[in-house]
């Protein structure tokens, strides 16, 4: 997804958001959750992935899993270096935040 710092000409072709299906599980990816312009549950989305804050988190609200994997690159602020894993098995989604380097 295009991030807030992706402003050069090369970034124009990168989408702001994308919706993907993994069998019956629909995932919506967007850089900044504050720019989410859909009602995920109403749109049939099961998982929303965002990352702007770089703060790892995972919370389920109204049947929708909201996950921020954090940042697997250089350290941001005093946050851990992390990534996320989603195990999709049929309609089941199991999330896991993986801390690569502690804060």
31-48 pLDDT, tens per residue? Answer: 999 999 999 999 999 999
Question: Higher-confidence residue: 3 or 79?
Answer: 79
Over residues 19-39, mean pLDDT: 96
The verdict on pTM exceeding 0.85 is: yes
Q: Looking at the predicted structure, is the pLDDT value of residue 1 above 80?
A: no
Structural domains in the chain plus CATH codes: 9-101 (3.60.21.10)
Task: Write out the DSSP string of 33-71.
Answer: GGG--S-TTTTT--EEE--TT---EEEEETTEEEEE--B
Taking the C-alpha atoms of residue 96 and residue 31, their distance in angstroms, rounded to an integer, is 19
Task: Write out the DSSP string of 4-29.
Answer: TT--SGGGTTS-SEEEEEETTEEEEE
End-to-end CA distance of the chain: give it in Å, rounded: 25
pLDDT of the residue at 3: 80
Q: Is-contact 19 47, C-beta < 8 A?
A: no
pLDDT of the residue at 75: 84
Q: How confident is the model at residue 72 (pLDDT cuts 50, 70, 90)?
A: confident
């Amino acid at each position: 997804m295009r991030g807030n710092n992706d402003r050069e000409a090369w970034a124009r072709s990168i989408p702001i958001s994308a919706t993907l299906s993994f069998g019956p599980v629909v995932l919506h990816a967007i850089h900044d959750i504050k720019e989410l312009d859909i009602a995920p549950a109403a749109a049939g989305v099961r998982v929303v992935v965002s990352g702007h804050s770089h703060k790892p988190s995972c919370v389920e609200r109204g049947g929708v899993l909201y996950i921020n994997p954090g940042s697997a690159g250089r350290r941001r602020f005093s946050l851990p270096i992390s990534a996320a894993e989603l195990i999709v098995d049929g309609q089941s989604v199991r999330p896991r935040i993986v801390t690569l380097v502690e804060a």
